[in-house]
Structure 1
Amino acid sequence: MPLLQIIFKSDTKRITVKPVFEGITKAGDYFKDYMNYMITSVAGEDKSKALIVVILLVIVVFLLKNLFNYLAMYFITFLRNGVLKDLRNELYDKIVSLPLSYFSEKRKGDIMARIGTDVLEIQTSFLSILELIFREPLTILFTIIFMLTISIKLTVFVFIFIPISGLLISIIGKSLKRKSDRVQHEQGYFLSLLEETLTGLRIIKGFNAEDKFSEKFRESTSRFNKFSNSLLNRTNLAKPTSEFLGIAVIAVLLWYGGTLVLVDKSLDGEAFLAFMGLAYNILTPAKEISKASYNVKKGNAAAERVLEVLETKNPLKDKENAIVKSSFDSEIEFKNISFKYEDEFVLKDFSLTIPKGQTVALVGQSGSGKSTLANLVTRFYDINKGSILIDGTDIRELTKKSLRSQLGIVTQDAILFNDTVKNNVQLGVQKATDEEIINALKVANAWEFVK
């Protein structure tokens, strides 16, 4: 405003003596006089030169604004991607630490969706507003200070309408979390179908079940499409709604401010123009914040799904001061053990002793508990009753790592990880020599086709 007065008002008094700051109550007058003094010092009475000074000031201000904006985005990029990386690492570490019983109740595809798309949604919804958190509140604060120096009445008038606008936007965005939750769950479901299809493709083809699985997948993607459209249409209301409400505030402000200028004569035209510019400056970040609030509500659903995994308690944790077992010496004993999946007992009061060096074969019908015994001795599950002893020590007293280091597992399904043969063979013994690896391959009768 002082810039406009100096250039366009002929009766504006020129300040030739540097003004003195006299306290916060007169901060507005000090700012006006100081700007007047600076322009007068450079341009004197030459209005053309004063105009050039103003143009240069505007260029410098916007240059600095965009420079600091870039620097802020530069550092926020590292922060945002760093948080994303740490969150994915935390999720992965948590997933591999959870017992097998957890995955018996969860779809693998849904777990993959949580570490993939849900974490990405958190980045989009929460981490993308970091810039707003640091930048927009300061923009609003300084803008309000300048607005108050021009007109307290107009400033109060603006802040009567902004909360009303915020309330309307909040009402529109109320159902976003529920809609987003449906989208995330459905995405997890069709990723689970995809994972099951790839894992069991031989069975699907063998039983001519391609059409059945294709139909299930199409039904899931149709639901996902429907839920996504509903969510995006509600989200897309954010921008036009905030835009319209912003223009409505400007329109009412034009009417009230115009009255103060043209009728009451209590406000200068230049001051009103400057105030309108500031008002628009405050509406832009306000609209961005309202848009961000929509994203936060969307992200809440994804965040809850991620936290559900991170906050899951692990019932198979090592005891405090658990024993580290370095060797297997005498025998494995199953002592009156009972175990059930959910409410149905698979093993009840089962006992067996296996001396070291003895080969024992368990024979029985499918589902009689043979694989369950292997899962229990490796402590993939904990028994409900009784005890499993190795060399007379309950396996619950041992660290899981030291227990499993004494055991070898050959699963019913052959699994090769996407790595070299060497790394697959030495999976459990990272420091195995080439000679030890070759010997292991020979013992497994695999050396002939590997070499």
Structure 2
Amino acid sequence: MDYFKKILRFAKPYSKYGYLNIFFNILYALFSALSFVALIPMLDVLFKESDRMYEKPEYTGISSAKDYLQDTLNYQVTQVAGDDQMIALVLVISLVIILFLLKNFFNYAAMYFITYLRNGVLRDVRDAMYKKITELPVSFFTEKRKGDVIARITSDVLEIQHSFLSILELIVREPLTILFTIIVMFGISTKLTLFVFIFIPISGMLISRIGKSLKKQSDRVQEEQGHFLSIIEETLGGLRVIKAFNAESRFNERFNDSTHRFFNFSNTLLNRQNLASPTSEFLGILVIGILLWFGGKMVLVDRTLDASSFIAYMGLAYNILTPAKSISKASYGVKKGNAAAERVLEILETENTISDAANAIHKDTFEKGITLENVSFGYAEDPVLAHFTLDIPKGTSVALVGQSGSGKSTIANLVTRFYDVNHGAIRIDGTDIRNLSLKSLRSLMGIVTQDSILFNDTVANNIKLGKQDATMEEIIEAAKIANAYDFIMDLPQQFETNIGDAGGKLSGGQKQRLSIARAVLKNPPIMILDEATSALDTESEKLVQTALENMMKNRTSIVIAHRLSTIQNADKIVVMQKGKIVEQGTHDELLQAKNMYKKLVDMQSFD
């Protein structure tokens, strides 16, 4: 129930719909019971058992309330119909029809208002999850499968709507339907109703035993769904590689194994869930059968109950079955919803380790420089940087070079605060970046990554991602600086061309140039280039390199590069190995030193 309460907080903005639902459910439950009571006078007319009431009955107390109500109805019918039984029958049938019409109208009204609450909660939970996903640090998603996250925001949230939120429909309507029905049943025959209650606890105990393992099975189903969604996501992302290495059969086998497990878990779960309804119905009919015997004895042998009241009573008894089945089915839904809510709340309640400090500083300007002071960092248990210290004055370009795994890209991740340092500090103008607001920190920076991250949108919208109010002239200028203008103008709709999922309609070099144009347009004081020219051909690389060098003039730049030819003009080159600085200086100084940098240059020259 803790999960249920936490999900219910999303229902507060829609409380008015909840109250209206409760109001109409109360009316539905009341008329559900009354509609069967109205059958008694109709049956009396048919069986000619009722005496005409020519005098208005008097109320003598709660003990005779049933007789008073029945006599009052007979009196009203007599007043209108007189001794004509057909008119009396038509009147009673009209009453029954009106009561059933009102009952169904109130049911529709209750469902109408709960729809807004259910769908509103569904929307708000999804919005909250998406917002949380965009706020959580990058490190969270290195440990979680993307497909599993997608499963949580789609199928798990939908499961909450089908299970938890369906309880909101049942929490008033079904219990009240049962309550009002039982009150009326007591009014008709206390002895018969007490006899019914002997069998209800036995039925409830048998039904509850079936559902004990449903949550565990539901956990397995939802986890496996997240697993095969991850396989789909990986397959779509790496389809070229899968085909190139003839690995289709291996991935088919992985996917088939996952869907086979999902098939088995789903069968077990649904078979147990489906057992609820027939079990509860059979037990209900069993009770009805016993009632027919016991009640029939009261009518035929004991003569303590009239036939019309007994027939209406049986209708009322059967009227309990539907809400009882709904409640038992909902209890299984709660167990499934519990598993889904647990997975959704795991995301929503995950602590965001990369967040603004309590009194975060909003910084608009960059004046002095960036300093990394004795920084140590590792991903999980793997140390990457150890006591790393580097000073980057404003207006200078610093290039980071070294073998793969030496920690170059990690520096970019830490400066942009995608991760926080384990020890030490990174300062901008003397202020620890952990004390700056994330928005202002990242507004000072532009980044071009090794992988071109583009979105399924137009060329123009991809370029102006960091500056939404950019004019078309500014977008065109940025495209020209990034050497992207010519190929954009050759596209079918030029800047309004949709580039497809992840920019799939463009070549690798074209995608990278759009990424560069995006950074150019943002025009930040600090530029981080993580293998920015790696996807370009030789001609484009030279053109873009010239453009980048022009852009980096009087700008602080951190350049990560494997191609050493692209960083020869950097103010400082830092050579890294296993998370430490082994040498630093200008291109000429490092060549003269004839150490590690010289070896790297020679190796690339030889290549």
TM-score by length of 2: 0.72
Q: Which moved more, 1:106-115 or 1:286-295?
A: 286-295
Q: CA deviation at 1:3?
A: 0.1
Instruction: Quote the residue 1:112 is aligned against.
Output: 150
Give, in angstroms, the shift of residue 33 of structure 1: 2.3
- For residue 388 of structure 2, what is the aligned residue in structure 1? 350
Q: Percent identity?
A: 66
Distance in 1, matches of 2:217 and 2:44, equals 55
Q: Matched residues in 2 for 1:200 and 1:11: separation? A: 81
* Pairing 1:440–2:453 present: no
Is contact 1:337-1:349 (8 Å) kept?
Answer: yes
* 1:91 alignment counterpart: 129
Paired AA for residue 173 in structure 2: R
Q: Deviations over 1:26-56 (max 9, x none)?
A: 4323322222222122212221111111111
Instruction: Tell me the equivalent position of 1:331.
Output: 369
The separation in 2 between residues aligned to 1:390 and 1:5, in whole angstroms, is 89
CA contact (8 A) 1:2 1:35 kept: no
Q: Which has the larger radius of gyration?
A: 2
Q: CA deviation at 1:5?
A: 6.4
Matched ranges for 1:356-367 at <5 A = 356-367=394-405
CA distance in 1, matches of 2:314, 2:329: 23
75, 79, 83: which one pairs with 2:117?
A: 79
Task: Give per-residue Cα distances to partners, 1:193-252, cap 9 Å, x unaligned.
Answer: 111111122322333322211111111111111111111111111221111111101011
State the 1:160 CA deviation. Answer: 2.1
Deviations 1:131-174 (A, max 9, x none): 32332222212211111111111112212212221221111111
Matches within 5 A, 1:18-29: 18-19=56-57, 21=59, 24-29=62-67
Check if 1:133 corresponds to 2:171.
yes
Instruction: Decide whether aligned partners of structure 1 residues 314 and 17 sit closer, same or farther in structure 2, where only a CA change above 3 A counts.
Output: farther
Looking at structure 2, the residues matched to 329 and 15 of structure 1 have their Cα atoms a distance apart, in angstroms, of 100
Aligned equivalent of 1:291: 329
Aligned-pair distance for 1:89? 0.5
Q: Determine if the alignment matches structure 1 residue 275 to structure 2 residue 318.
A: no
Mapping of residues 217-228 of structure 1, within 5 Å: 217-228=255-266
Once structures 1 and 2 are overlaid, which stretch shifts more, 207-216 or 178-187? 207-216
Aligned match of 2:205: 167
Out of 152-161 and 317-326, give the one that drifted further: 152-161
- Aligned-partner SS, 1:300: helix
**Deviation (angstroms), 1:127:** 2.2
Q: Is the 8 A contact 1:2 1:36 kept in 2?
A: no
Matches within 5 A, 1:46-445: 46-445=84-483
Whole-Å separation in 2 of the counterparts to 1:25 and 1:266: 16
What secondary structure does 2:104 align onto? helix
SS at match of 2:421: coil
Secondary structure of 1:347's aligned partner: strand
Cα deviations by residue, 1:85-119 (Å, 9 ceiling, x for unpaired): 11110111111111111111100000000001111
- Matches of 1:77 and 1:449, distance apart in 2: 50
The alignment covers a number of residue pairs equal to: 451
Aligned partner letter, 2:197: F
- The answer to whether the 8 Å contact 2:215/2:338 transfers is yes
Q: Deviations over 1:64-88 (max 9, x none)?
A: 1222222222222222111111111
Judged with a 3 Å threshold, the aligned counterparts in structure 2 of structure 1 residues 375 and 24 are, in CA distance, closer, same or farther, namely farther
Listed as ranges, the gaps of 5+ residues in structure 1 are: none
**Cα displacement string for residues 328-385 of structure 1 (whole angstroms, at most 9, x for unaligned residues):** 1221111001111112211110011111221111111212211111111111111110
Conservation of the 8 A alpha-carbon contact between 2:281 and 2:321: no
Cα separation, 1, equivalents of 2:422 and 2:281: 62
CA 1:356–1:155 in structure 2 vs 1: closer, same or farther (change >3 Å)? Answer: same
Would you say the 8 A contact 1:5–1:12 is kept in 2?
Answer: no
Change (3 A) 1:354 1:46: same
Contact kept, 8 Å, 2:42 with 2:89, in 1: the verdict is no
> Could you tell me whether the CA contact under 8 Å between 1:18 and 1:34 is conserved in 2?
yes
Q: Distance between the aligned counterparts of 1:22 and 1:364, measured in 2?
A: 100
CA positional deviation for 1:263: 2.9
Local SS of the residue matching 2:360: coil
- Kindly provide the amino acid, as one letter, of the partner of residue 290 in structure 2: V
> Which amino acid is the alignment partner of residue 314 of structure 1?
N
The one-letter amino acid of 1:222's match is: H
**More displaced, 150-159 or 3-12?**
3-12
Aligned mates of 2:154, 2:114 — CA distance in 1: 21
How far apart, in 2, do the equivalents of 1:346 and 1:22 lie?
90
Is 1:183–1:224's contact at 8 Å kept on the other side of the alignment? yes
Secondary structure of the residue that 1:263 maps to in structure 2? helix
Cα 1:228/1:331, change in 2 over 3 Å? same
Distance 1:354 1:26 in 2: 95
Q: CA offset at residue 404 of structure 1?
A: 0.3
Q: Is the 8 A contact 1:109 1:195 kept in 2?
A: yes
Q: Give the partner amino acid of 1:82.
A: G
Measure how far apart 1:291 and its partner are: 1.5
Change (3 A) 1:53 1:390: same
Higher relative contact order (CA 8 A, sep 6+): 1
SS at match of 1:315: coil
Residue identity matched to 1:277: G
Bigger mean CA offset, 401-410 vs 415-424: 415-424
Q: Is the 8 A contact 2:211 2:273 kept in 1?
A: yes
Secondary structure at the aligned position of 2:405 is classed as coil
Superposed CA RMSD = 1.7
Displacement of 1:178: 0.9
- The 1:5/1:107 distance shift into structure 2, 3 A limit, reads closer
What is the SS of the residue equivalent to 1:362? strand
Contact 1:109–1:190 (Cα < 8 Å) also in 2? yes
